[in-house]
Amino acid sequence: MLIRKILLQKSLLPLGLVVALSFIQAVEARVQNIAICYNFSCKTLQQVALSAEEWRSVIGWFYPAAHTAAEEREQLRQAIGWMEVVVGRHTPTHRDKGLNLEKNPEFPGQLDCIDESLNITTYMQLFQEQGHLRRHRVVDRAYRKAGFDAHWAGQIEQIDTGERFVIDSWFQDNGMLPYLSPSTEWFDITNLQILIFEIQD
Averaged pLDDT score across all residues of the chain: 86
Q: In this structure, how many other beta carbons lie within 10 angstroms of the beta carbon of residue 112?
A: 22
Going by pLDDT thresholds of 50, 70 and 90, the confidence category of residue 24 is low
How would you classify the pairing of strands 44-48 and 136-138? unpaired
| Residue 34 pLDDT > 90 | yes
As a whole-number percent, the residues of the chain with pLDDT over 70 amount to 78
Average pLDDT value for residue range 13-35: 62
Beta strands, E only, the chain:
34-38, 44-48, 136-138, 142-146, 149-158, 164-168, 179-182
**pLDDT value for 25:** 53
Cβ atoms of 120 and 93 closer than 8 Å = no
pTM, 2 dp: 0.82
**pLDDT value for 69:** 99
Going by pLDDT thresholds of 50, 70 and 90, the confidence category of residue 8 is very low
Average pLDDT value for residue range 19-48: 79
DSSP code of residue 103: -
Q: Which residues contact 107 (CB under 8 A, 6 or more apart)?
A: 95
Nearest to 42 by CA among 124, 103, 85: 103
Per-domain residue ranges for the chain?
1-31, 35-196
- Give the integer Cα–Cα distance in Å for 184 and 187: 5
